A and B are shown apart, each in its own frame.
Chain A
Amino acid sequence: KAGVTQTPRYLIKTRGQQVTLSCSPISGHRSVSWYQQTPGQGLQFLFEYFSETQRNKGNFPGRFSGRQFSNSRSEMNVSTLELGDSALYLCASSVDTEAFFGQGTRLTVV
């Protein structure tokens, strides 16, 4: 069974640009959550999608958005990138109370 796949693994963007990250969950999992990790911080919850609907949202500015497709794949978009958006972005697909993580996308904003 394939795990959670995130693409790309690494990304370098310039301030002001926008970026789209992709997450393919484990087959059969309908819930996808996104997290941000910056140095010294734990995993901060961004949002969760279930059956194409955003079910929960963390405390992030509106520049952070996401969507989920009918095949449960999810994308996360960050517009008008800031230096502070440099982080590891993890997605997790879950069923019941277990979450399984991808390897993350390392975003560097210069």
Chain B
Amino acid sequence: ILNVEQSPQSLHVQEGDSTNFTCSFPSSNFYALHWYRWETAKSPEALFVMTLNGDEKKKGRISATLNTKEGYSYLYIKGSQPEDSATYLCARNTGNQFYFGTGTSLTVIP
């Protein structure tokens, strides 16, 4: 079973606040962990692909860390802006088959 779980399910933060959410996954047979940003009426957009334990990736105000031994990844957003409002999905893949979590819905209040 390759269940991917994300928490919290939804989050409301004030503009300027920093926030983070969690993705947990089975640590066995790990291949890669993906984070996507999904805005309403648009395609999910790839943020990060992470493969190595201890990996840390950053794109602007967004960063992610990976712990493959304990099976979790954190996504951090520093100084949240209204345009960060979206659903953030994580997924692990085995080959071309991706297993997605249910996502964290982030709303940034101006």
Contacts and interface: CB of A to CB of B under 8 A. Distances in A.
- Quick one: which of B31, B44, B102 has the most chain A CB within 10 A? B44
Interface of A: 3-4, 31, 33, 35, 40-45, 48, 50, 55-56, 90, 92, 94, 97-104
Interface stretch (B13-21, B67-75, B92-100): B92-100
Interface of B: 4, 31-32, 34, 36, 41-44, 46, 49, 51, 89, 91, 93, 95-103
Contacts of B101: 42
Contacts of A41: 102
A3 B91 CA distance: 20
Contact of B43 (A33, A43, A50, A103): A103
Nearest to A49: B96
B100 to A, nearest CB: 4
